[in-house]
Amino acid sequence: MPNAIVFVINGVEDIEAVTTIDILRRGNVRVDVVSVEDSLEVTCAQKTVIKADKLLKDSMPESYDVVVIPGGTLDWLDNDDFMAAIGEIGKKGKQRIAAICIAPVVLGKLGLLKGKKATSHPAGDRDLEGAEFVRDSVVTDGLITTSRGPATAPLFALEILTLLVGKEASETVKTNLLLKSLESF
């Protein structure tokens, strides 16, 4: 069974975190929710409280098939341990990294978007250092997947699911969620 780590931080966008967790779990991906805070409880941008499965210091991000960074905040940039972990994963180039909304800026700051096509929320499209900006809802270039924001969260999660378990499983989840007609924004 493929596995994913979804990072959470205070101020993370609720829809992006929860939708990704939900869709991946529906597609039989083992998902660990990992807090980069000092607490398992994280308060999202719209005040939803998420209880993570573990803390960053107690996890091994390099052991997952994909690491997912929801947006909503750029506070990711201020967490040295998180930035070091993502930078190391990116340098090794063996795992998928997925970031949505403003979070692709993290990948740009770490130099992981050089020579790649990427997208983000309009607030971050000029900060995708080294990337060729694309306005598509979801963009996958090599091992990097990026997406625009809350409204594209289902498409983002389905793309990750497709990359991990295949189109058939992704289509089944899409159909069961009545998203079959949701192709792009």
Task: Report which DSSP code applies to 117.
Answer: E
Cβ atoms of 81 and 92 within 8 Å: the answer is no
Q: In whole angstroms, give the CA distance from residue 16 to residue 100.
A: 7
> Active site residue: 116, 121, 148, 174, which one?
121
For this structure, is 101 an active site residue? yes
> Active site residue: 67, 101, 102, 105, which one?
101
Q: How far is CA 46 from the centre of its chain?
A: 18
Half-sphere exposure of 123 toward its Cβ, with a 13 Å CA cutoff?
9
Q: Helices 14-26 and 153-165 sit at what angle, rounded to 10 degrees?
A: 30
User: Which residues are CB-contacts of 14 (< 8 A; sequence separation ≥ 6)?
Assistant: 44, 45, 46, 48, 72
For this structure, is 77 an active site residue? no
Nearest to 178 by CA among 158, 162, 150, 149: 158
Coil, helix or strand at residue 113: coil
The residues that are catalytic are 101, 121
